Structure formats: structure tokens, C-alpha cells
Amino acid sequence: MGKSPEEMAEAMVANMKEKTGKTLPAWVKIAKASKLTKHGQVVTMLKSEHGMTHGFANLVAHTTFKSAAADSTPDDLIAAQYAGKKEALKPIYNAIMVKVKKFGEVDVAPKKAYVSLRHKKQFAILQPSAATRLDVGIKLKDVKPAGRLEAAGSFNAMVTHRVRVESVKDVNKELIGWLRQAHKSAG
């Protein structure tokens, strides 16, 4: 089984001094001393001025700013995604999750704006994109977009396709079949 995102982050912290020459607290001190106020600015600075790889720079920036994703519980992140105008989309999310959990091993990793579904590798994301729909991003290599299964385009670079889901009725055999296929390919 692949490592969870938390295990990967722990491994990066453990290897940081060897790979970058400094510990995480030392890099956080540098980031804070820069007086930069945005995550992306810190990442760019660490990469350009210190030759750091994106993964390490991103970890330092997240730690520096103690991002909402780092400080929130998974349930908090999901609740925030479906708050306000998007509250009516939560039953769609729940219906998908009931079906996906029957696939077997599935890691559910909520982020600030979406939920990542993993089986050794990420195979799908669930993102409330508008007050009227939930976008399901699916990683299906060598599958041509057709009908509801559209090309992901600029939606999200981590997936190949997107399905727009507007009601629980849209959580049908077709959608679950694509998710099952992606799950199988990721394992």
C-alpha cells in the first residue's frame, strides 16, 4: 500500500535537513523573515533563491502559514465545503461516498476545496463547484471523453475527466462505474 499524505509529509520532514541543508524550523524562520504574506510567494522565493524543490517549498509554506487545511480536522474541511449556498449538495457527496466505500480500500483525504479519493494513488476528487452542482474529477487514462464524461480541461490537472453532478439521481451506475474503473487502475 502507498503512503498516506500524512506519512509522506512526515518522511519529508525527517529527510529535510539531509536534502536541503536545514531543518523545517530553520526554513520556517527564513520564510517568516522574508516578510512575504502569501503561500505562493514563499514557495517561489524558496525555489528561486534557495534552490528548493516544489514539494519541500510547499511544506515549508504550509507550516509557516499553518494553512486552514493543516489546522482543520477532515470533518471541518468537508463541512466548510458544503456550508452556505452549497449545503444542498451534501446529499450528493454522501450518496457518492456510500457507493465508493463499497469498492474496498479507499483513503478519503479532504482538502480545503475538495475531497481526494485515493487507492494507493489518487483516482478521483469531489468538489462542490457551484451552488448547483458537484464536480467529480476522475483519473481515467486512455478513456475518450463522451457524453457526461467530459475532458477535465482546466478543471483540475490531477484528473483526466470531469462529470457534473446536479442531483442524487445523477449518482447512477454510469458514474459509479467510472469511479470503480479509476479505483481499480489506481491500485
Can you tell me the distance from the alpha carbon of 87 to that of 141, in angstroms, rounded to the nearest whole number? Answer: 32
Q: Give me the count of residues in the chain.
A: 187
User: What confidence tier does 125 reach under pLDDT thresholds 50, 70, 90?
Assistant: very high
* Among 69, 73, 58, CA closest to 28: 58
Beta bridge partners of 124: 117, 138
Going along the chain from its start, the domains and CATH numbers come out as 5-71 (no CATH), 74-186 (3.90.1150)
Residue 118 burial (C-beta neighbours within 10 Å; 0-12, 13-18, 19+): buried
Percent pLDDT > 70 in the chain is: 93
Express each pLDDT in 38-52 by its tens digit: 888 999 999 999 999
Beta strands in the chain (DSSP E): 107-110, 115-119, 121-130, 133-138, 150-151, 161-165
Dihedral of CA atoms 18, 31, 158, 137 in degrees, nearest 10, equals: 130
Express each pLDDT in 150-173 by its tens digit: 999 988 888 999 999 999 999 999
* pLDDT surpasses 60 at 68: no
* pLDDT surpasses 80 at 6: no
* pLDDT surpasses 60 at 1: no
For 160, the 3-state DSSP assignment is: coil
The model's pTM is 0.64
